[in-house]
Amino acid sequence: MRILLFLLTNAAVLLLISIIFHFLGLGNMLYQNGVNLNLDSLLLYSAAIGMSGSFISLLMSKWMAKSSMGVYVIEQPANATEQWLLESVRRLAQGAGIGLPEVGIFDSPDPNAFATGFSKNNALVAVSTGLLQQMSADEVEAVLGHEISHVANGDMVTLGLLQGVVNTFVIFFAKIIGFFVDRVLLRNERGYGIGYFITEMVAQIILSILASMIVMWFSRYREFRADAGGARLAGRQKMIGALQALQRAHDPEPLPGGMAAFGISSGGASRLFMSHPPLEERIAALRNAV
């Protein structure tokens, strides 16, 4: 569930692009020109769909975050807490050398936060009501530093590029497997048979699951970098204190989607599919940092 929303958005966009390509007749045109045997053409075709899906998902990331999480964006602070939150983000963003992100609050009893956006100067940082209620000001500041570091490191953009490459090769190899089963095993010699379409669909599902391990590994790696960035911006002890506060929390529900990849919740049933390293490892990494 860690990056479910981003992946679902990406999958939906891929499906839409595939349908558009189908109605435009691009698939038949490629087939007539030997794309089923020309791996270079097939790779370009796969990249057109895969990279487009990821790019559009990235463009939609802030809108999806706001709508799915019910984020209230602070434009004019209504109280002291909102004023402090806005000023803290402004100060941390200046320290990180990026433009001021939009700052928002979403209603959740669990301590959590996320950052998302298409670029370093067009981002959103949001925190939960539970985080503001359960953590001290120093701990919240460290969390904000962590999220600002995600933005400054360009993690959302890099994730989008990685997802685009993953999409490309999932589509590419799924089509090759579908073609092999249809032509070699089922010996269909005219057009694309039902075996091709079924095999391609099943192969895309299986390859997407395997490819998600790469995306999750990337997310775990970038969490350590964001922790280090949060420590530089807010202070190492504050960052350690924020992670320890998360350890004391009662298993907060994971954030959905793309913003969850940049949230602060730990959890996860299997390490291969965890978007965040265990909190113990993150705390140890900060304590051992030179």
Catalytic residues: 147
Pick from 192, 173, 175, 174: nearest CA to 183: 192
DSSP E strand stretches across 79-228 = 102-106, 113-119, 122-128
CA-CA distance, 121 to 208, in Å (whole number)? 31
Assigned token pair, 40: 């270079």
Phi, psi of 127 (to 5 degrees): -125, 155
Pick from 148, 23, 149, 4: nearest CA to 64: 4
**CA-CA-CA-CA torsion sign (229, 121, 136, 67):** negative
Instruction: Please tell me whether residue 270 adopts helix, strand or coil conformation.
Output: coil
Half-sphere exposure of 249 (CA within 13 A, CB side): 24
Letter string b/e over residues 32-69, b meaning 16 or more CB atoms within 10 A of that residue's CB: eeebbeeeeebbebbbebbbbbbbbbbebbbebbbebb
Please say whether the beta carbons of 177 and 200 come within 8 A: yes
- Provide the greatest CA pair distance for the chain: 72
Q: C-alpha distances in angstroms, 124 versus 21, 73, 101?
A: 33, 9, 5
CA-CA distance, 149 to 89, in Å (whole number)? 11
